[in-house]
């Protein structure tokens, strides 16, 4: 095969040649040219959420989860208490990392196939005034469900609670406007809907709460307040930055702007999602979520009921045809996931459906229909 496999995953994603080529230059981490590159990336990130007047953005080395952990440690005081509405695997991870850092965490269970209900969040806040923060996963990529950011933000603002948003899989695709939605922190990463490469997260922090974050974090490397203060003073990262990742992200953001920004990216992903779901339906596959709660980021499909189905063989057959699928994250039913994001369009999605059809034929499975 003369091309890289298409990554139909929630990240890392398929990137453009321009983004790949941006990584061919070596940068000095203290050099003025690299400092300017970092400053430019931070400025354009703030533009995407319309946050120039209200927020700062603090980059951090590592995967997205590094930045989620850093945000919780930096924003939530050691005696703080977080509420985590839980409708999937990444919600559970947010609760676990909060508890591991010594913060009290209350989990609010929600069915995996349903979005979080802002009214239920409000009941929890009213019942326990000791809760200081809510952690919301905007798009729960364990299933693909979109949670109601604006409604939950309004409840948190009404009750004077801090809101920490994990927007890992939604930022730059789903609309987020800091002028309309109040959040204390919002977390995303380079290798998701901006279509950069993995290796760097970033956290938007509301300026009004920033000063009060000093000394909260028990970590040296992951103290976002300290990182911000140092960057503001020197223009530099405190510790060795992922220079090639920053360069790739800068180039990816330029392409994001050229494409038409968030509305254009969302439109392409919506088209990808529609092409995928309609094509898979013709093969008998059924999505796990109802259409009205499905975000156009990643689609969870029920596994075929046929006795010959085995995910590892199915994965290998699709990979041999140039497409990387993703295993399911659910514990109760067998599923697999297909991402709709990355530097791909309708043609690649239709080719992916064709590859799945070929994989089924190879395995002797006449239909992708689940046992429902």
Decide if pLDDT at 106 tops 90.
Answer: yes
| Residues carrying CATH 3.40.640.10, the chain | 17-258
State whether the Cα torsion 228-234-240-243 is positive or negative.
positive
Decide if pLDDT at 2 tops 70.
Answer: no
Top-tier CATH class for 6-10+260-363: alpha beta
Secondary structure letter of residue 115 according to DSSP: P
Decide if pLDDT at 133 tops 80.
Answer: yes
Residue recorded with tokens 């995303």: 188
pLDDT digits (tens, 9 = 90+) for 277-323: 999 999 999 999 999 999 999 999 999 999 999 999 999 999 999 99
Provide the pLDDT confidence category of residue 331 given band limits of 50, 70 and 90: confident
Tell me the pTM: 0.97
Provide the pLDDT confidence category of residue 332 given band limits of 50, 70 and 90: confident
CB-based contact 166:183 (threshold 8 Å): no
Cα angle 91-327-307, degrees, rounded to a multiple of 5: 130
Radius of gyration of the chain, Cα coordinates, nearest whole angstrom: 21
Give the model's pLDDT for residue 288.
96
* Helix H or strand E segment including 337: strand 335-339
The contacts of residue 372 (CB under 8 Å, 6+ apart) are: 286, 302
Secondary structure letter of residue 292 according to DSSP: G
| Residues carrying CATH 3.90.1150.10, the chain | 6-10+260-363
Secondary structure letter of residue 282 according to DSSP: H
Average pLDDT of the segment spanning 145-156: 98
The token duo for 281 is 């339906």
Give the model's pLDDT for residue 46.
98
Alpha carbon distance 141, 146 (integer Å): 9
Q: How many CB atoms lie within 10 A of CB 282?
A: 10
Taking each continuous run of H as one helix and of E as one strand, the counts in the chain are 12, 14
Provide the pLDDT confidence category of residue 3 given band limits of 50, 70 and 90: confident
pLDDT digits (tens, 9 = 90+) for 217-238: 999 999 999 999 999 999 999 9
Cα angle 103-85-220, degrees, rounded to a multiple of 5: 30
CB-based contact 149:178 (threshold 8 Å): no
What separation in angstroms does the CA of 25 have from each of 18, 21, 153, 246, 337?
13, 8, 41, 11, 35
- Residue range 17-258 in CATH 3.40.640.10: yes
């Amino acid at each position: 095969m003369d091309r890289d496999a298409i990554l139909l995953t929630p990240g890392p994603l398929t990137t453009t040649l321009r983004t790949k080529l941006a990584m061919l230059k070596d940068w000095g981490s203290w050099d003025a040219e690299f400092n300017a590159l970092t400053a430019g990336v931070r400025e354009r990130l703030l533009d995407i959420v319309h946050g120039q007047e209200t927020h700062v953005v603090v980059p951090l080395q590592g995967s997205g989860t590094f930045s989620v952990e850093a945000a919780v440690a930096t924003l939530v005081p050691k005696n703080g208490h977080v509420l985590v509405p839980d409708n999937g695997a990444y919600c559970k991870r947010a609760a676990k990392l909060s508890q591991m850092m010594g913060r009290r965490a209350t989990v609010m269970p929600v069915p995996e196939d349903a979005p979080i209900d802002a009214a239920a969040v409000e009941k929890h806040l009213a019942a326990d005034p000791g809760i200081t923060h809510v952690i919301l996963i905007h798009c729960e990529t364990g299933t693909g469900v979109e949670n109601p950011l604006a409604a939950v933000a309004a409840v948190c603002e009404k009750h004077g609670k801090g809101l920490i948003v994990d927007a890992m899989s939604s930022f730059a695709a789903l609309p987020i406007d800091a002028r309309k939605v109040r959040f204390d922190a919002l977390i995303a990463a380079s290798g998701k809907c901006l279509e950069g490469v993995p290796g760097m997260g970033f956290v938007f922090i509301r300026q009004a709460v920033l000063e009060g974050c000093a000394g909260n974090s028990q970590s040296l490397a992951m103290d976002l307040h300290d990182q911000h203060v140092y960057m503001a003073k020197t223009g530099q990262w405190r510790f060795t930055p992922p220079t090639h990742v920053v360069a790739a992200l800068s180039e990816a953001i330029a392409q994001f702007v050229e494409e038409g920004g968030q509305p254009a990216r969302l439109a392409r992903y919506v088209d990808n999602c529609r092409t995928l779901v309609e094509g898979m339906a013709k093969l008998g596959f059924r999505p796990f979520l109802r259409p009205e709660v499905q975000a156009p980021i990643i689609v969870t499909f029920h596994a075929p009921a046929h006795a010959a189905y085995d995910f590892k063989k199915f994965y290998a057959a699709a990979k041999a045809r140039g497409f990387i699928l993703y295993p399911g994250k659910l514990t109760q039913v067998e599923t697999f996931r297909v991402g709709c994001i990355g530097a791909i369009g309708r043609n690649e999605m239709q080719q992916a459906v064709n590859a799945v059809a070929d994989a089924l034929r190879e395995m002797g499975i006449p239909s992708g229909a689940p046992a429902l």
